[in-house]
């Protein structure tokens, strides 16, 4: 059941990315190019997403438990630390270089573009490097909920 | 690049928000793609299934929308392979080190008013905008 719900959520998420044009890297770069011919699309996408997700989360806070799972996995961290900032700077550099972030990158695998495939492999490599680093020097990256290496998302 | 269409942007964004809300209401999970992917690569079998299912749904979306007459536009990628690889590594490493990406921090995190996510989103926006400014307009170079 959880797998089916997850599949449907992925499907809806992917449809949203596609309908909003966010699978196209040049569209994302158009938003990031504030000194050029600025394309405000991404701001509208985020506004639309936040309008619905914040209501959904408010409802989820009132649930005793999720409909088909034993508990909510709300991220617990609240501290603003260096990994948060450094990681976000690096992520932003990569995002600005190619116009792709993880969601659209995975979805674009459906285009069978070799460049997207290589991008996703590189992304998985980057993610794996971090996991190996964390495993060998756990103190280097203080991530709580140890098995849940993703602290916020 | 398509022209700016605020209605599709809002509808598409709304669907992204709906998917994020449903994943929490049904499965109790945050729809952060970098985290979902990272967990799918590292976690035990029991935790992998919902993650891989979500990713499968994400990749299936263009096939379904395409069959309705709206094919996935061919993604325009950088011509340099070195750039493609470096960007991928930075996105993969950075998103995990920073605890999330555009979905986990930018949508889910801001929706629950997390200070960490608001800071992260501001930081990666500024960083990406700076990179695009340098590449396209040669600022600071």
Instruction: Tell me the count of A-B CB pairs closer than 8 A.
Output: 554
Percent of chain A whose pLDDT exceeds 90:
84
Question: Is any Cβ of chain B less than 8 angstroms from the Cβ of A145?
Answer: no
Handedness of CA A30, A35, A38, A40 (dihedral sign): positive
Centre a 10 Å sphere on the Cβ of residue B130 and count the other Cβ atoms it contains.
17
Q: What ipTM goes with this model?
A: 0.95
Mean of the per-residue pLDDT values of chain A = 91
Kindly report the pTM of this predicted structure.
0.94
Task: Please give the pLDDT value at position B141.
Answer: 53
CA distance A132 to chain B (A): 10
User: How far is Cα A129 from Cα B1, in angstroms, rounded to an integer?
Assistant: 34
Question: Is any Cβ of chain B less than 8 angstroms from the Cβ of A12?
Answer: yes
Q: Which two tokens stand for residue B57?
A: 């749904």
* In chain B, domain spans: 6-137
- pLDDT exceeds cutoff 70 at B85: yes
In degrees, to the nearest 5, what angle opens at C-alpha B6 toward C-alphas B5 and B10? 125
- pLDDT exceeds cutoff 90 at A141: no
Name the residue of chain A whose CA is nearest to B74's CA: A111
Contacting residues of A for B118, CB less than 8 Å apart: none
User: How far is Cα B31 from Cα A92, in angstroms, rounded to an integer?
Assistant: 19
pLDDT tens across B23-43, in order? 999 999 999 999 999 999 988
Task: Please give the pLDDT value at position B47.
Answer: 87
Residues 6 or more apart in contact with residue A57 via CB below 8 angstroms: B21, B24, B108, B111, B112
pLDDT tens across A69-106, in order? 999 999 999 999 999 999 999 999 999 999 999 999 99
């Amino acid at each position: 059941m959880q797998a089916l719900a997850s599949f449907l959520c992925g499907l809806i998420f992917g449809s949203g990315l596609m309908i909003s044009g966010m699978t196209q890297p040049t569209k994302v770069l158009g938003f990031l190019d504030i000194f050029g011919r600025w394309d405000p699309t991404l701001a509208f996408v985020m506004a639309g997403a936040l309008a619905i997700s914040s209501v959904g989360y408010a409802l989820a806070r009132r649930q005793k438990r999720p409909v088909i799972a034993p508990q909510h996995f709300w991220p617990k961290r609240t501290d603003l630390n260096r990994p948060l900032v450094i990681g976000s700077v690096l992520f932003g550099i990569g995002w600005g270089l190619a116009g792709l972030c993880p969601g659209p990158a995975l979805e674009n695998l459906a285009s069978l573009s070799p460049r997207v495939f290589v991008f996703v492999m590189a992304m998985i490599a980057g993610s794996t490097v971090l996991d190996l680093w964390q495993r060998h020097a756990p103190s280097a990256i203080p991530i709580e909920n140890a098995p849940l290496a993703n602290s916020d998302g | 690049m398509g022209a700016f269409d605020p209605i599709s942007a809002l509808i598409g964004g709304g669907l992204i928000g709906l998917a994020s809300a449903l994943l929490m209401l049904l499965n109790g999970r945050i729809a952060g793609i970098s985290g979902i992917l990272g967990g799918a690569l590292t976690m035990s079998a029991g935790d992998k299934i919902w993650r891989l299912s979500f990713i499968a749904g994400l990749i299936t979306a263009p096939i379904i929308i395409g069959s309705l007459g709206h094919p996935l536009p061919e993604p325009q990628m950088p011509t340099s392979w070195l750039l493609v690889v470096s960007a991928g590594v930075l996105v993969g490493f950075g998103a995990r080190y920073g605890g999330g990406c555009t979905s986990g921090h930018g949508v889910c995190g801001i929706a629950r008013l997390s200070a960490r996510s608001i800071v992260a989103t501001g930081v990666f926006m500024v960083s990406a905008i700076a990179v695009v400014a340098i590449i396209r307009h040669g600022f600071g170079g």
